[in-house]
Structure 1
Amino acid sequence: MSTSTTPSVLFVCVHNAGRSQMAAAFLTHLGGDRVQVRSAGSAPADTVNPAVVEAMREAGIDISAETPKVLTAEAVQSSDVVITMGCGDACPYFPGKRYLDWQLADPAGQGVSAVRPIRDEIEGRIRSLLTELGIEPTA
């Protein structure tokens, strides 16, 4: 449950099978219970991209049990920060929310070697986000 002292972050991409899953996993891993994390997609895939699962496993984070989730207006309304990753006009907008748009390569259809640099860029952005939120990364 989000409280006034626990920021909530929602990551959104089209399929919720790659970038947003990696971002949510890194934020959960590095922020722990000091931040509430959600991810969703405007047109969710059936499963998380296997190359993304493997790349995250290499980073010591297991997301094999994650499933893509549909983006809802409620998820946006209950989040303090909404970070979009290529969902364009499909992302709902609510006044008073902090929106960030992260331009990242899409890992869809890519092998693990192409996903690694995307993963590493996302980790760096998550570490910066934690600093902005005043949260010291746990790892």
Structure 2
Amino acid sequence: MNPPAVPSVLFVCVHNAGRSQMAAAFLSHLASGQVEVRSAGSAPAETVNPVVVEAMAEVGIDISAETPKILTVDAVQASDVVITMGCGDSCPIFPGKRYLDWKLEDPAGQGLDAVRPIRDAIETRIRGLLAELSA
């Protein structure tokens, strides 16, 4: 018997420097290897937003070594669930995939006080997603 396949989730935002990085980090942290996690951007930034890195460090998750990645067709095709966060029409759509669009404020250009509630909203959604995936 083959072990059950591990579900795969892809988080997509435009720059892959804030929301999708936080979401991927939370899911990786909370899923403990039970979910394959990817993140990407349609127009990736050069670095992850330093305020986002700081906000995640406050909750004990280090994403300082992460780098924004370009969204590829392969990444979408390899994922069971694709979660977009303000990526608009630039996200490719494939049949048979589950798509969720999370409306979240963009942390770009925001201070730590503005990023914390975005971080916390993402964590809440990740916990809900994890409960669904493990059901």
Assess same fold via TM > 0.5.
yes
Q: Which residue does the alignment assign to 2:92? A: 92
Q: Which residue does the alignment assign to 1:69? A: 69
- Alignment of 1:39 with 2:52, yes or no, is no
**Aligned residues: CA RMSD:** 1.0
Stretches of structure 2 that go unaligned for 5 or more consecutive residues are: none
Between the two proteins, what is the percent identity of the paired residues? 77
CA drift of 1:4 comes to 4.8
Q: Which residue does the alignment assign to 1:25? A: 25
Stretches of structure 1 that go unaligned for 5 or more consecutive residues are: none
- Alignment of 1:53 with 2:56, yes or no, is no
C-alpha separation in 2, matches of 1:60 and 1:113 = 17
CA drift of 1:32 comes to 1.4
Secondary structure of the corresponding residue to residue 32 of structure 2: helix
Name the TM-score, length of structure 2 as normaliser: 0.96
Name the TM-score, length of structure 1 as normaliser: 0.94
Count of matched residue pairs: 133
CA drift of 1:134 comes to 1.2
C-alpha separation in 2, matches of 1:133 and 1:64 = 27
**Could you list the per-position Cα deviations for residues 64-110 of structure 1 after superposition, in whole angstroms to 9, with x for gaps in the alignment?**
00000000000000000000000000000000000000000000000
